[in-house]
Each structure stands twice: as structure tokens, then as C-alpha cells.
Structure 1
């Protein structure tokens, strides 16, 4: 009889976790580095699922642009080059501008209070020098605006784009002085949405992503 530390074939066949989501989260979180090999047997052991489930997940993540398969070498985390990161941000600029405008049309009084609470938390994080906390709040704010917008198709597009760009977003957050710049841009987005001004919200969102693109262009290629 297997111990609690052992994984039986029956356990693996049950696929107790969403392995695609689990590997995706690990990549986005930085647990797997760019160009790191993703070995099916190792992932099967780590997540307690069958190798078939891992294989299917890696194919799905390849389609999402997070994983690449190298002939005769298996799968690895795809390293997104800088020029592609800029292209991704340009697409985000259009889609997130739409979401900000829609959020301004739909936002409730309760959601206004929530967004302003995030704004205040971001100010505190920057004032206290908590860069990682600010980065987390940044991600949460963008996600909440998308949710408020009600744009489900845009949400799926942006989820994939942001996941592919996570390494560059993290590098950007560490640039000296960048959080202060970003803070003012996010504040403008929040204020426009809370004022229920769709055109102003879209302009603010596009201005923020333009700033991101300009910052990325300053990175060494």
C-alpha cells in the first residue's frame, strides 16, 4: 500500500490539478526561468499528474506562447525577445484602452471605492519602497479594471499577452524611479474611471502603455 508521499498510477490518471494552469502560474511567477527545460517526468512528479496530462498542458502552453518545443530536445520556457515584448505592449495599449473606457461606463459606487483603495495601497507601497508589493498591486489593478469592463474576450487576450511579457514587466518594475512614474499614470486611469469618463479613461490607459513601451525601448536589446 503506497504511503502518502507516493503517487500511484490511479492518482496520476485522476489529474487532481489543472496542470495547464499550474505550469502557467509557475512560469508567470518566475519559478521556471526563460529557456529552462520542462521535463515531462519531472513535472509529472512535481504536480502529481500523469505524463500524458503534462504533455497536453505543454502543447496548450505552446499555443499560448509561454512554451516552445525544440526538435529532439523537448519543451522549454520561451524567452520573449525585447522587440516582441514591445509589440505585445502595443497590442495591450489598444485592448486595455478599450477596457478602461468600458469600465468607466459600468463602474459602480462600490467598485469606485475599491479602485481608490488600490490607488491608496499603491501610493503606500511606493512611499515605503516596497517594489514587489507595488508590482502585485499593479497587476491586481489591471485585472480588476478588466473585470469591471465586462469584456471577456479582451480578458482572455490580455491574460495571454501579460503572461508572455511577465519577465519584462518585472524588469521594468525594478528600474529606479519607474514606480513613481507608473503610480501617477495609474492614478490618472483610476480617477477617469471613477469619474465615469470613458474617453479620459481610454486616453489615460493608452498613455500608460505608451510610457511602458518607451521604457522598454530604453532596455538593451
Structure 2
């Protein structure tokens, strides 16, 4: 390996981000040769990255057929959201304890962008700001372990999150929930921040459950 070649961990991080950004979609094949060319990496390091991502549940390796992005069912997406509710509640609690004035201003700016997006019907900007808010709360919390787990499980359900963001009327429901999280963190009220996140995630879970029931009904 040359000194400039990406490590397997670095390649895994790039693939993970590509899944989060929707560049690699569920069931898409991840061809080692293509990834080697894309990342200018060795076959061994690409293979190591895919093994790591398989251990995280983002990728599944198929015997004699390579690897592909793992598709997550609605039922599993609901379970993952329940895990997120606990961990993101913890991060919000810590963020309320540790947020700085500069970070408070940034959170308020994100909240304003979300309000403007809802007012103009710009769902893409709202979805982007939504992801940014959750990411920044995790970073502000300085709770590294919880934040790493959240990032891994969020990547598994990115497709469901996109559909959720596009759900009719969903932004109007989730906007006040997000603003409540921002206000509680900026008020340095850990209990209120954790409770606000839990209410928001319960709303997410209820919407996913409603989607699951609708899918079952359509298939009946």
C-alpha cells in the first residue's frame, strides 16, 4: 500500500456517506473493481471496507455474487427508530448541558431555514436541514459513542427517512417538534431537550407504523 492510498476505514467512511446521501441505494450492487477505480484503492482495502460495513449492517455480502447495499424492511426501520429515540434523547440531554452561544446561534439558524422551507414548500431543503439539525445536536453533545452508533443506524434507514420527509403533511408536523428541540437545548434544559427528542421520535415511529399498515392494506 502506498502512503497516499486510502485505508479500508477511510473507504468504509466514504461508502457509508454515499449511502447516507442516497448515492448508493438499497439492493445496489457494490462491485469491488468499480469501487477500486472510484476511490483509487487496492482490492484488499475495498474488500476490508465492505466487510466492516457488513458488520455494521449497511452492506450484505452474497456468496459468489459480491456485495450490495442492504435493504431494510419497515419493521426493522421501526426498531432502529426506537433505538434512535433513546440515543438521540441522550445526545440532546448532553447538548443542552454543553451548547455554546455560537452553537445556539447555529441551531437557531437551522431552525429558521426549516421554517422558511416549510413556508415555501421546499421539501428538499427541509429534509437537508432536518438531517443537519440531528447531526449538529449529536456533535454538540460531545457524546462520541452514542453519536457513532446513531450515524451507523441512521445510514441503514436512509431510504425510509427520505420517504418519511416526503410524506404528505409530514414537515408541518415535524417542524414544531424540531423547533421545540432547539429551544430546549438553547435554554440549557437537559430534561426538556431529551423529552422533546423522544416526542419527535415517537411521532416518527407512529408515521412509519402508519406507512406499514398502509402497505399491508395495499397488498391485501
Query: Do both share a fold (TM > 0.5)?
Result: yes
Matched, 1:136 2:98: no
Whether 1:202 aligns to 2:181 is: no
Any stretches of 5+ residues in structure 2 without a counterpart?
none
User: In the alignment, which residue of structure 2 is the partner of 1:118?
Assistant: 110
Partner Cα separation in structure 2 for residue 217 and residue 106 of structure 1: 34
The whole-number CA distance in structure 2 between the counterparts of 1:203 and 1:106 is 17
1:125-157 Cα deviation digits (max 9, x unpaired): 111111111111111111111111111111111
Tell me the TM-score normalised to structure 2 length.
0.91
Q: Which moved more, 1:133-142 or 1:21-30?
A: 21-30
Whole-Å Cα distance in 2 between the matches of residues 14 and 199 of structure 1? 46
Which of 144-153 and 41-50 deviates more?
41-50
> How many residues get paired?
211
Divergent runs of 4+, >2 A: none
CA distance in 2, matches of 1:164, 1:16: 24
Partners of 1:150 and 1:191 in 2: CA distance: 19
SS in 2 for 1:31: coil
CA shift, 1:46, in A, is 2.1
CA RMSD of aligned residues (A): 1.5
Shift in Å at residue 27 of structure 1? 1.7
1:69-119 superposed Cα distances (whole Å, 9 cap, x missing partner): 112212111001111100000000011111111111112222221111111
**1:180 Cα offset (Å):** 1.1
Q: Indicate the residue corresponding to 1:4 in structure 2.
A: none
Deviates more, 1:150-159 or 1:17-26: 17-26
- When Rg is computed on C-alpha atoms for both structures, the one with the higher figure is 1
Corresponding residue number in structure 1 for 2:141: 149
- Indicate if the aligned counterparts of 1:189 and 1:204 stay in contact, CA closer than 8 A: yes
Kept after mapping to 2: 8 A contact 1:40/1:51: yes
TM-score by length of 1: 0.91
Please list the CA deviations of residues 165-194 of structure 1 after superposition, one character each: whole Å capped at 9, or x if unmatched: 111000100111101111110011111111
